[in-house]
Structure 1
C-alpha cells in the first residue's frame, strides 16, 4: 500500500469522526428544545381543559386584590410612621433642653410700635413766632417753658414799673418847671422837708434826671422783652434743627496739661509746661 493511499484513509477516518461528533452535539441540542416544545403543548392543552372565567369577574377580583394590597401597604406605612414618631418623641423627652427665659411680648411690641419724633424746624419757628413758648411745646422741651415765661414775666414787671416811675417823675418835672411847687406830684416823690432846704433849681434838675433815667430803663425793658421773645424763637428753631444731630464719643473736647517744646526760648531748656486743648470730630 502506498503512502498516498494511507493518507487518504486517515483523512476519511478523521472526517467520519468529525461528522459523528457534530451529530452527537446537534442531537444533544435538539433534545431540550423538543422537550420544551412538548411541555408547552401539554400546558396549552391543560389550559384548554380549564373552565372559562368571565372577564368581568377577573377585573373585580383584580380590583379587590389591589385594594387589599393597598390597604395592607397603608397600614404598614401608618405603623412605621407611628413607630418613628414615638422614637423621636422619646429622644426629645430624654434629651436635656436649655432653659430659655421668656421674653415679654409687651415690651417687644412697644419697642416696635414706638415712633421716633423728629420735629420740623419750620413748624417750630412759626409756632414760636405766633405763640410765645409754642415752639418749645412742639419740640417737647417742656422744661424750658418756666425759663421763657419767667423771662417774659420779669421783663413785663420791669416795663410796668419803669413806665410808672417815668410818668410820675415826668408829671413832677412839669409841675416844677411851671413853678407849681404845691402839687402833690412833687411832694409824693420828695422826702419831707427836702423842698424847704434845697434850692428849686436843684430839685428841678433832679426831677429831670430821674425822669430820663426811668425812661431809659423803660426802653431797656422793652428791648429785653423783645430779646426774650427772639431767644425763644431761635431756641425753638435750633432745637428742632439739631434734634437728629449725631452726638457720639468722637465729638469731644479735652483739656489737659502738656509739656510744650518752645523753639524761641532763651536758655538751656527749650521745654515749657502748659495746657493743651484738643478737639475731636
Structure 2
C-alpha cells in the first residue's frame, strides 16, 4: 500500500512539473506565434495585411504603362512576355501597313496610266485590289490583337493581385490520399478536406 501511495505521489509531482513546463513552453510558442502572425487556439493574427485596393492599383498601373502593374506586384518575369506580345502585334501591323501602301501606290499608278510599278507584269489590277483588301484586313486584325494583349495585360495584373491575397495556409487543405485497407488488403483512394477554425 505504501509503495502504491509513494508511486502515485511521485507520478503526480512529475506530472505537475511536466504540465508547468509545457504551459511555459506553450506561452513562449504563443508569444512567438503572435509575433509572426500564426493562428493559435482559434485566434487569427494575420502576418500580412490585406489591401483591398491592390488589385485596382495593379490594373490602373498596367493601364497607364503595360507591365507596370506586374512590377508593382514584384512579378518581373511577366513584363517581357507582355512586351513581346505587344511588340509582335505592332510589328505585324506596321508590316501590313507598309505592304498595303506599296500595293496601293502601284494600283494608283496603274489607274493614272503608268506601267512602271514594281508589280507590273506579275500581278494584275484585280490582284492588286485583292491584295489591298487582304492586307487591310490583316492590318486591322493585328491592331485588334495588340489591343487585346493590352487589355489582357490589365486583366492579368488585376487577377494576379487578387490571387496574391488569397489565403493559402495549413488550416485549409485539400489533398488526395491512398490507404491500404487492413481487412481485405486492397487499396482505398480518396480525398481529404481539412478545414480548421
Query: Taking structure 2 as the reference length, what is the TM-score of the superposition?
Result: 0.59
Counterpart residue number, 2:154: 233
SS at match of 2:166: coil
Q: Decide whether aligned partners of structure 1 residues 252 and 228 sit closer, same or farther in structure 2, where only a CA change above 3 A counts.
A: farther
Residue 160 (1) aligns with residue 113 (2): no
Residue 211 (1) aligns with residue 132 (2): yes
Give yes or no for contact 1:118–1:240 (8 Å, CA) kept in 2.
no
Q: What is the CA–CA distance in structure 1 between the aligned matches of 2:141 and 2:49, rounded to whole Å?
A: 39
Larger radius of gyration: 1
Counterpart residue number, 1:175: 109
Counterpart residue number, 1:256: none
Q: Decide whether aligned partners of structure 1 residues 213 and 252 sit closer, same or farther in structure 2, where only a CA change above 3 A counts.
A: farther
Q: What is the CA–CA distance in structure 2 between the aligned matches of 1:251 and 1:223, rounded to whole Å?
A: 41
Q: Decide whether aligned partners of structure 1 residues 117 and 130 sit closer, same or farther in structure 2, where only a CA change above 3 A counts.
A: farther
- Point out where structure 2 has 5 or more consecutive residues left out of the alignment: 1-31, 37-46, 177-190
How many residues align structurally?
134
Q: List aligned pairs for 1:60-99, cutoff 5 A.
A: none
Q: Decide whether aligned partners of structure 1 residues 245 and 205 sit closer, same or farther in structure 2, where only a CA change above 3 A counts.
A: same
RCO higher in 1 or 2 (8 Å CA, sep ≥ 6)? 2
Question: Which has the larger helix fraction?
Answer: 1
Say which of 137, 144, 165 aligns to 1:244: 165
Counterpart residue number, 2:58: 124
Q: What is the CA–CA distance in structure 2 between the aligned matches of 1:180 and 1:161, rounded to whole Å?
A: 26
- Point out where structure 1 has 5 or more consecutive residues left out of the alignment: 1-107, 254-277
Counterpart residue number, 1:6: none
Q: What is the CA–CA distance in structure 2 between the aligned matches of 1:145 and 1:153, rounded to whole Å?
A: 12
